[in-house]
Structure 1
Amino acid sequence: MTLLHPPRATSHLDFVTRVFREYDEITLPLHGKLSAQDKSDGSAVTEADQAASTHVLERLMAHTPDIGVISEEEAESYLPSASRQWAIDPLDGTASFARGLPIWGLGMGLIDGTTPVSGYLHFPIPRQSFIFEDGRALLNGEPMPRRPESVAADTRNIMITSIHDAIDVRRVEGYRLHNLGSNLYHLMMLAAGRCDAIITGPCYLWDLAPALPFTRALGHVERYLDGSALDLSDLLKPDYGFPTRQPMLIGPAPVVDALISRLSYGARD
């Protein structure tokens, strides 16, 4: 993978490795043992989300005091006018976490201006840590796997999150549909060549930014259902959400274009 806009030459790898270990210590004892509460946007939150957010925020502020931090679980951002920002999802997959399911984790993305330059993601149960730094993508310290040149037709799959209210999934032909419970994990599976595209309902900066350095390095595109491209500057404005309430598709341009052509005819008002 080659990064078109290299980050400033500072490695956060040692710091992130420690944060991942601390994250396990906070979250694993609580996995499947907490009740989730509904937030105003309809998503769930647990005490673990809040504890993880507080810890990661404090660690980032101490590690990079000149870089802002935008966190899903914090009402106010740290240094919101800084040119560089961390976008963090302290527990992506809260519903899965609360029910004792395996796919949930931490996402931290570093944005320079409007360009995602580095990504650090950690999923404790499958024991997978994804790093994108200085133009290199790693899975558990090894180069990320690539999609095979050919795959059996029955194994082609698209990973989906919160799309049923917006599109008719019966129009997705030729692919299996999977929802593993975490949008960031879906994106990591796309980057690792284990799915062919992802479709997500309207979401927020922290649901995408940690993963975009991986997918963009592969040449993948991000497009709304109407065919327009993602402008990340739109997601850097409070409330950090999609400017339009429609799904987004991410993947290789030919796959995304074909899906949009088919799905746009089945879009629901």
Structure 2
Amino acid sequence: MENFWDKVLQFCQTTTKTVGDRLIADFGKIQAIQKEDGSLVTKADRSSDNELRTAIINTFPEHGVLTEETTQIFPDSQWCWIVDPIDGTTNFTRGVPIWGISLGLLYEGTPVFGFVYLPQLRQSFYGYWGGNSGLEIPTGAYLNNQPIHTNQDSPSKSHLFNLCARSTEILKNPFPCKIRMIGVASYNLLLVAAGAAIGGVEATPKIWDLAAVWVIVQAAGGKFIFLDSKPVFPLQIGQNYGNISLPCLVVSRAELVTEFLPLVEFLGKSN
């Protein structure tokens, strides 16, 4: 199994670097159009989606693929990749160099490996989290091949908590930390895994925003909470995940759930 994980990591590193280099050439130069769900898409999203999907099929022909821009129905496959070709399309089109490529690998419907590459920041996050899968996995989280861990501090006004654009209603009440808005769902939560932020929340993310990050955050020692009471994993075969939002809270350690959950849990009730 060790050779398999080496192959998975090398594939992600090589493929996202190739796709990322091509996307940099379009950075800030192309227009986006609005999809039915209100999110943006560009020709770069679609070409990146196609390139990533083709690379997965050629390298792992027995694996299924679910992507943001192509097939959003979860397949009947023991292994499945979930792809976000450009996380942060608004940043990408507006010339803000914080955007990424996200790849999550699921086993029997649950993520066990995640990889997120931010081309212009030259940052590669990845992690392994076996959970109850029964797989032999080298559990851990990494940034540019160096181990990362969540921040173990107690919240204060000198610590950061990340919001998304649709969660600003939280600020109507006093909040224990400084607020940041990144504009990229994956990076928002990965900053918790890396210890830069103590928590983060996303109000309307989709499965391609979270599949990779769910692994990395937990492998780094963080706690990932879905605000809807319904279980998310394992994903259901035949389910279309294109219009399903998955509001979530991420905190740097389990003990902080009781402090932050009451402040953000209303986001789950509104979806």
TM-score norm. by structure 2 comes to: 0.84
Letter in 2 for 1:256: V
1:194 aligns with 2:189: no
Q: What is the 5 A alignment of 1:83-232?
A: 83-133=78-128, 134-144=138-148, 146-150=149-153, 153-164=156-167, 167-171=169-173, 173-217=175-219, 218-224=221-227, 228=229, 230-232=231-233
Structure 1 gaps of 5+ residues are 1-5
SS of alignment partner, residue 87 of structure 1: strand
Change (3 A) 1:197 1:98: same
| Residue identity (%) | 26
Structure 2 gaps of 5+ residues are 129-137
User: What displacement does 1:172 show?
Assistant: 5.1
Once residues 268 and 214 of structure 2 are traced to their aligned partners in structure 1, the CA distance between those partners, rounded to angstroms, is 25
**Count of residues in Structure 1 that have an aligned counterpart in Structure 2:** 258
Change (3 A) 1:170 1:56: same
Change (3 A) 1:168 1:246: farther
CA RMSD of aligned residues (A): 2.8
Change (3 A) 1:235 1:37: farther
SS of alignment partner, residue 209 of structure 1: helix
Change (3 A) 1:36 1:118: same
Once residues 163 and 192 of structure 2 are traced to their aligned partners in structure 1, the CA distance between those partners, rounded to angstroms, is 11
Change (3 A) 1:238 1:62: same
Once residues 39 and 81 of structure 1 are traced to their aligned partners in structure 2, the CA distance between those partners, rounded to angstroms, is 27
Q: What is the 5 A alignment of 1:69-88?
A: 69-75=65-71, 80-88=75-83
Contact 2:207–2:246 (8 Å) recurs in 1: no
1:37 aligns with 2:39: no
Contact 1:203–1:241 (8 Å) recurs in 2: no
User: What displacement does 1:265 show?
Assistant: 7.0
TM-score norm. by structure 1 comes to: 0.85
Q: Deviations over 1:155-182 (max 9, x none)?
A: 31211224348x4422251111211111
Once residues 26 and 116 of structure 1 are traced to their aligned partners in structure 2, the CA distance between those partners, rounded to angstroms, is 27
User: What displacement does 1:214 show?
Assistant: 1.4
Once residues 80 and 34 of structure 1 are traced to their aligned partners in structure 2, the CA distance between those partners, rounded to angstroms, is 32
Instruction: Select the residue among 59, 66, 79 that pairs with 1:63.
Output: 59
Contact 1:93–1:181 (8 Å) recurs in 2: yes
Equivalent position of 2:257 in the other structure? 256
SS of alignment partner, residue 55 of structure 2: helix
